[in-house]
Every structure is written in structure tokens, then in C-alpha cells.
Chains A and B, each alone.
Chain A
Amino acid sequence: MIDFKEKFVNRRKLIKLFATGVAAALAPFAAKESDAKIDWEEYFQKHFKLMTKEEKEKLVKRLEQKYKEKYKKEFKVKISDAMQNVEFGYALNLSKCIGCRRCVYACVKENNLSRKPQIQYIRVLRMKNGEFDVEKSEHYYEPALVPEPGYFYFPVQCQQCKKAPCVKACPIKATWTEPDGIVVVDYNWCIGCKYCMSACPYFGRRFNRGEPVIPENEINTTVHYLGNRPRPMNVVEKCTFCIQRSREGKYPACLEACPVGARKFGNLLDPEDEIRQVIDNKRVFIFKQDLNTIPRFYYFFHD
């Protein structure tokens, strides 16, 4: 079964390779020798989860070299594993959120999201007070000042589900749940079929339909293989609770950017953690609970 899948992937990637080969012939600058060598290795890369430590380290070197040539900057590509006894959770206080979108742009910057075409992991829905209806919500609101009277705001991003429909939908296991609960994508493995996107009920995933564009002076060079490293075109990507930060003990960027303190994050397994303080002491709810995806993302109302 696995064998078949690996063959399948390699074949897909070979087709891709021939396509790029043609493109390379047309574009004189892309035909450098080092590029060619690097790309061959990428096409025959093993599945990330099946790689040995040495293979991963080699991969890191290769990527750092590749990014250096492409972006003219020194990158640090991390492959840090999940910490022991940690399962991440997130909670968002809807009484506090004012819909200012500071989180959206902090995320874009931290995670090297494409500015053009525009990709944003967080979408803030505006809803009328007393009317919780996603269908009637508005996310293009643009008043002079927020909050606006009569409305509340409902930010949505990947809910890092325990029973993630996106993971089940992937035909080639290019996306999976890590031991700390983060649902990740291997962009070197993803073939861009978008089945996961259709499977996600939360609009948690985004597709890179163009070559991602990031202003040179805003590139974040501290990256994780399974997170914010520069994405190739035609792959699916998503929020990873800032895996490059959270696995080092840091808060995600969206949390730190929130001016009202509506965002809470931490280890669900530690009763002293602020995330547990929220879940244990406040009435929390889960978005689209009836779908039974069991998110690790909670919402609550608390003044």
C-alpha cells in the first residue's frame, strides 16, 4: 500500500520535473547546475516521517542552501520534534475581540505568507450581536474604527482537530497530526490536489496558486520544515500554531499581536497553564461541534 503510494508520488513528481525541465530551458537563469542537483534530490525525497535523523539533517542543509540562493539570506531551518507531554490548545475570548485584524497580519509576517497572491490563515468574521450565523457573516468589513456597535467578531483559523477530516482526505499522507496536536503539511510531498481543503469545514487551509511573493525585507529566516519555510507553488498550507515558535516554548505570533488579550495558548496537559485556566474555569464552546472533528481550538465569552 505504502509502496504503491510512494511510487505514485514519485511519478507525479517526475511529471512535475519534466514540466519544470521545459520551463528551465525557456528561462536561462533557472538552469544553474546547483539548482538541477538540488531539485533531483527533492524529487526522490523520502516521506519526512520515515527519514532518519541524518537524512533530515541533510535535507535541512539542502534547503538552507536552496533558500540562500533564492532569497540571498541565511535561513535557519528547524526540524524540532514535539515536546514530551505537550498537547497544544488555543482559546479565543469573543467578548474581548474587537476585529482589528492585528493577528491576521502578524501571522502573515511571521509565517512568510504570500502577499501576492494574498494568503491569510486567519479570517475574522463579523456577525450581528445575538446572531451566530456564518452564512450571514461579513469578513470584508472596513469601518474607520473597531469595534462597531451592534457587532461581534469571530476569528477563524485551523482548529487543529483531533479527528481532522483534512488528514483523512489526503490520498498520499502529505498531511498528518503531530504528537503535540499540530496538524502539519509536508510541502515537498503535497501534490496540490486540494482534497484536504474541501474536507475542512473551517476554511482552515490555503492553496498557493502562484509563486509566493514576500517583500525582501520582511522575510522571516527562522523557519521550521513543517511550518513557515518558504512554500513552493501549487501546495496547500495552513496555520501550525507557529510551530517554529511554539516548539521552542514561545507564544504564537497572533497571540502576541492581540491588543485586547483575547487569545490564549498553552499546554492542555498542564493544569496550571493559562489555557487550562480558561477551559476549566470558563464556559468554552467549540465551533461546529456537531461535526465531531474535536478541535483543539476553543471559544469563550468572558468580560
Chain B
Amino acid sequence: MLRKTKLLFLLFLFLFVYKNVFAKKEYPVPYPPLSPGIFPCMNCHEGLERNKKKRALKEMHQNIKIENHGDRWCYDCHDERNLDRLKLSNGEYVKFQESYRLCGQCHGNVYNDWQKGIHGKRIGNWKGEKQYLLCVHCHDPHSPRFKAMKPEPAPVRPDKATTH
């Protein structure tokens, strides 16, 4: 009996330590903004050879150009063996749902603010379940500068407003 409690206690201790020390914090996110039909990437890439050369893509992904993102190229971020996931510089793999960790490697301050809710946006509940928008919901990873947009219409000027 005593041994059982001891074991149970050890198990809880282990779980507690694991949860608080080793397990990384995961953030609930909306589905990544991948184009319809593009995932899984390996549907096509299973049979394609990898080509690490910097080039203008002609047969596919013609819209992808690396702009305002320094010297990056595809396999700095994508895992060349399995394109269905991303790769960190320490060799760890991450799902598209966790791409914030990829961005966080080089944008530590912004990542920090994002975790606190200062950079980026959370939706859902201020109290209770919420979702954190991924960096890539707002920044195209390949051309991350925030794009200008069309504003919604200005309010009606009082002199132009009709009475009914």
C-alpha cells in the first residue's frame, strides 16, 4: 500500500516536472493560411528531386519570391527531406501550426511580445479559450513586409447626409 502511494507520488512529481520544465508551451492557433490544395506538399514532392539552387521558380510556386527577407532561401526554413514540416536551425522539426517558433529564432523580441499578446492578435475570448494568430497570418513568410490595403469608406459628411 505504502509503495503504491510512493509510486503514485513519484509519477505525479515526474508529470509535474515534465509539464513545467521540459514540455514547451504550445499556443492554440487557427489553421495556417496555406493555399487550398497545396498541403500535403509531399503529394507532389515525394517524386520530385530537391533543387537547392537559388532561381526563379517556373513550373510551380511562381508567385513565391523572397523579398525584404534578407538572404533567406527555401531550405533555411523548410525541411528538405519532408516538405510537410519546417526546420529550425538547431535541426528540430516543427509543424506549420508552430511556425511562430521558426520566426522566433531570428525575431526574438517580437516573438516575446507575441507570446504576451502585445504583438499580433488573439481572437476568441479574453477570458477563456483564445487563438493566437500565427505570424504568417499577417506576414507572408517569403515577403514579410506588411502590405498596404484599401481603407473602408470615410463616414458621410454631415452636409451631405440626408435627413432620412
A positions within 8 Å CB-CB of B: 83, 86, 93, 98-102, 104-105, 116-118, 120, 123, 139-147, 209-211, 246, 249-251, 255-256, 258-261, 264-267, 273-274, 277-278, 281-282, 302
Pick the most buried of B121, B148, B154: most chain A CB atoms within 10 A of its CB: B121
Name the B residues within 8 Å of A116 (CB-CB).
162, 164
Instruction: Tell me whether B118 and A277 are in contact (CB under 8 A).
Output: yes
Which residue of B123, B127, B155 is within 8 Å of A120 (Cβ)?
Answer: B155
Chain A residue at minimum C-beta to C-beta distance from B126:
A266
Name the B residues within 8 Å of A250 (CB-CB).
124-126
Inter-chain CA distance A75–B138, complex, in Å, is 35
B92 in the interface, Cβ–Cβ < 8 Å?
A: no
A234 to chain B, nearest CB (A): 14
Q: Which of B120-164 contact A (CB under 8 A)?
A: 120-128, 130, 133, 138, 146, 148-157, 161-164
Which residue of A83, A146, A209, A282 is within 8 Å of B149 (Cβ)?
Answer: A146
B positions within 8 Å CB-CB of A: 113, 116-128, 130, 133, 138, 146, 148-157, 161-164
- Given the known interface contacts A210-B163, A261-B133, the answer about A101 and B151 at a Cβ–Cβ threshold of 8 Å is yes
Instruction: Tell me whether A261 and B120 are in contact (CB under 8 A).
Output: yes
Instruction: Tell me whether B118 and A104 are in contact (CB under 8 A).
Output: no
Complex A-B, nearest 3 residue pairs according to Cβ-Cβ distance, in ascending order: A274-B117, A261-B121, A249-B127
Inter-chain CA distance A210–B161, complex, in Å, is 12
Inter-chain CA distance A250–B128, complex, in Å, is 8
Inter-chain CA distance A146–B146, complex, in Å, is 11
Provide a sorted-by-A list of 18 A–B residue pairs whose CB atoms are within 8 angstroms: A83-B127, A98-B148, A99-B151, A105-B152, A116-B164, A139-B155, A140-B155, A144-B150, A210-B163, A249-B128, A250-B124, A251-B122, A260-B138, A261-B119, A267-B127, A274-B126, A277-B116, A281-B116
Name the A residues within 8 Å of B153 (CB-CB).
101, 142
Instruction: Tell me whether A249 and B164 are in contact (CB under 8 A).
Output: no
Instruction: Tell me whether A277 and B117 are in contact (CB under 8 A).
Output: yes
Name the B residues within 8 Å of A141 (CB-CB).
151, 154
B97 to chain A, nearest CB (A): 19
- Given the known interface contacts A258-B121, A261-B133, the answer about A102 and B152 at a Cβ–Cβ threshold of 8 Å is yes
Inter-chain CA distance A116–B156, complex, in Å, is 10
Tell me what chain B mostly uses at the interface: helix, strand, loop, or mixed. Answer: loop
A79 to chain B, nearest CB (A): 19
Name the B residues within 8 Å of A249 (CB-CB).
125-128
Inter-chain CA distance A112–B135, complex, in Å, is 32
Pick the most buried of A105, A141, A274: most chain B CB atoms within 10 A of its CB: A274
B65 to chain A, nearest CB (A): 20
Instruction: Tell me whether A246 and B126 are in contact (CB under 8 A).
Output: yes
Instruction: Tell me whether A274 and B138 are in contact (CB under 8 A).
Output: no
Which residue of B116, B146, B150, B152 is within 8 Å of A274 (Cβ)?
Answer: B116
Name the B residues within 8 Å of A102 (CB-CB).
152
Name the A residues within 8 Å of B146 (CB-CB).
260
B134 to chain A, nearest CB (A): 12
Inter-chain CA distance A140–B152, complex, in Å, is 11
Sample of 11 more A-B contacts, CB < 8 Å, known A141-B154, A145-B149, A261-B138: A98-B148, A116-B164, A117-B164, A120-B155, A211-B164, A249-B127, A251-B125, A255-B121, A261-B133, A264-B117, A278-B118
Inter-chain CA distance A78–B117, complex, in Å, is 29
Name the B residues within 8 Å of A210 (CB-CB).
163-164
Name the B residues within 8 Å of A101 (CB-CB).
151-154
Instruction: Tell me whether A265 and B123 are in contact (CB under 8 A).
Output: no
Name the A residues within 8 Å of B128 (CB-CB).
249
Instruction: Tell me whether B118 and A251 are in contact (CB under 8 A).
Output: no
Name the B residues within 8 Å of A302 (CB-CB).
113, 118
Instruction: Tell me whether A143 and B126 are in contact (CB under 8 A).
Output: no
Chain B residue at minimum C-beta to C-beta distance from A115:
B156
Instruction: Tell me whether B157 and A140 are in contact (CB under 8 A).
Output: yes
B131 to chain A, nearest CB (A): 10
Name the A residues within 8 Å of B116 (CB-CB).
274, 277, 281
Name the A residues within 8 Å of B150 (CB-CB).
100, 144-146
Name the B residues within 8 Å of A83 (CB-CB).
127
B10 to chain A, nearest CB (A): 31
- Given the known interface contacts A249-B125, A249-B126, A251-B122, the answer about A259 and B154 at a Cβ–Cβ threshold of 8 Å is no
